[in-house]
């Protein structure tokens, strides 16, 4: 509830209060705790544009990945690799982002998890756009969109369509871009992401 209201200090305090419980927990629970803490710190760092908090988020994502690896929870490990890659993207550290996306993608292909792999592809498309590699971005996002659509992941689909629209406009396909962005708005509105 606090996170949805953009009040990040309260959930961070709750997670800090719970830390002693997780110190003696198994690796799967430690991974969950560190991953949740990373998400909250990441959102707080983004809101405040705070470099020190971004560093803390990187540490927490890395801890989550470590514990999920120890617990052999490969899917959760891949999800946190994707989250860390998204953070590196926001920081302009594109090489680091690609490195973590490569690791996540390899795991998800082996697990045959098309849905989470589509989310990794959406993150990679964002990185490619930032690198001005628009054809690569479009190629990657074109793989993700039908998978998210088939899965009924409307909020994720709206984001992916937006990324695809941006890639297409940067390639000079203005009409395609307009259609994709309109579709993204329709999908987002359908899940209540847009209000009047």
Q: How far is the C-alpha of 157 from the C-alpha of 188, rounded, in Å?
A: 8
Say how far apart CA 56 and CA 66 lie, in whole Å.
Answer: 15
| Calpha distance 45→41 (Å, rounded) | 6
> Could you report the per-residue pLDDT of 163-184, keeping only the tens digit for each?
999 999 999 999 999 999 999 9
* Tens digit of each residue's pLDDT (9 = 90 or more) over 87-112: 999 999 999 999 999 999 999 999 99
pTM for this entry:
0.91
The one-character DSSP state at 196 is -
Contact 40, 12 (CB under 8 A): yes
User: Residue 37: is its pLDDT beyond 50?
Assistant: yes
């Amino acid at each position: 509830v606090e996170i949805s209201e953009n009040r990040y200090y309260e959930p961070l305090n709750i997670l800090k209060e719970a830390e002693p419980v997780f110190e003696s927990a198994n690796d799967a629970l430690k991974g969950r705790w560190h991953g949740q803490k990373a998400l909250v710190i990441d959102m707080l760092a983004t809101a405040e544009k705070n470099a020190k908090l971004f560093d803390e988020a990187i540490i927490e994502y890395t801890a989550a990945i470590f514990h999920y690896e120890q617990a052999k929870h490969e899917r959760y490990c891949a999800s946190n690799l994707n989250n860390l890659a998204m953070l590196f993207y926001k920081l302009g550290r594109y090489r680091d982002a690609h490195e973590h996306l490569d690791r996540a993608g390899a795991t998800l292909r082996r697990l045959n998890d098309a849905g989470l792999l589509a989310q990794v592809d959406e993150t990679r498309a964002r990185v490619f756009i930032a690198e001005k590699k628009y054809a690569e971005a479009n190629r990657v996002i074109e793989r993700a969109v039908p998978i998210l659509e088939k899965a009924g992941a409307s909020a994720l689909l709206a984001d992916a369509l937006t990324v695809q629209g941006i890639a297409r406009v940067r390639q000079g396909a203005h009409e395609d871009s307009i259609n994709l962005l309109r579709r993204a708005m329709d999908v987002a509105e359908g899940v209540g992401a847009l209000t009047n």
